Structure 1
């Protein structure tokens, strides 16, 4: 009888640990499904003397553009939805020469402000109509219209397509 209770106790404890692990990883593996939670911080000396914390809904309210393209990181052609980088910077009245784009893991890339032009990259928050999960390069991913022109299919442009984006720092 004691052995049975101990085994049942072990199974109960193991089950509790398993459930706790699932709950704990939901934040790390989840999506940006709460559109009011801030997902992007924009800072820098060139950002109207303040910083901004923006949610997916804030980004949607600025503008939404779709880019249908293939990428070197995904299979097939997908529709990415997001705010055009150009519109985002205009909305925030950003001046400067370089965008330092930073990911959740602190990986950073430098993007010239000149890339932020009409028809250029978007800060994508959805792929094929669904929020981008962190495990799938979300919640935000800078996407260029790769299939639109050979100028967007270079190592330099690919290196600027940062995923798990959560910060933009604008520098002179």
Structure 2
């Protein structure tokens, strides 16, 4: 029994520092003027500390209107860095990727949702980050092509 407790205590001491470190849930990627990529990692806490926007909407993946809260995608980047003719490449944890026109995030309040109906979303619940368009507010966004842009388990956003 003493051996077991000693091993358990040793494992806790070894693992404790890694458990306290904040985990990256999203990476922003921007190409610099010299052609290199500049990556910035965000934890859930980092994203929550930025201005939040709430979108109440329906989509093909929720049963009823849901309330989503998160950072506006356009606010993830420096003001003026997103041009209407640019694209954003959104990549999920499983490497599934979608390219959307940057005009979407300039014209609509597209958010990086981290909560749905007031609860943080886990990977199992399409989190920790889910791209949400305000579909109920704009008839045009109800088109099926916009549902294809609702990428969940988002891990990176790259400005191209």
TM-score grouping bracket, smaller chain normalisation = 0.7 to 0.9
User: What CA RMSD, in Å, does the superposition of the two structures yield over aligned residues?
Assistant: 2.3
Distance in 1 of aligned mates of 2:124 and 2:76: 25
Q: CA deviation at 1:90?
A: 3.1
Indicate conservation of the 8 Å contact 1:46/1:170, yes or no: no
| SS in structure 1 at match of 2:48 | helix
Name the residue aligned to 2:15.
Answer: none
TM-score by structure 1 length? Answer: 0.72
Which deviates the most, 80-89 or 40-49? Answer: 40-49
Q: What is the aligned residue count?
A: 137
| SS in structure 2 at match of 1:106 | coil
Q: CA deviation at 1:122?
A: 0.2
Between Structure 1 and Structure 2, the one with more helix by share is 1
Indicate conservation of the 8 Å contact 1:84/1:121, yes or no: yes
Give the 3 Å change call, closer, same or farther, for CA 72–105 of structure 1 in structure 2: same
Gaps of 5+ in 2: 1-19
TM-score by structure 2 length? Answer: 0.77
Name the residue aligned to 1:79.
Answer: 67
Distance in 1 of aligned mates of 2:45 and 2:124: 21
CA deviations 1:95-126 (Å, max 9, x no partner) are 46111000000000001111112642100000
| Larger radius of gyration between Structure 1 and Structure 2 | 1
Match among 140, 159, 165 for residue 129 of structure 2: 140
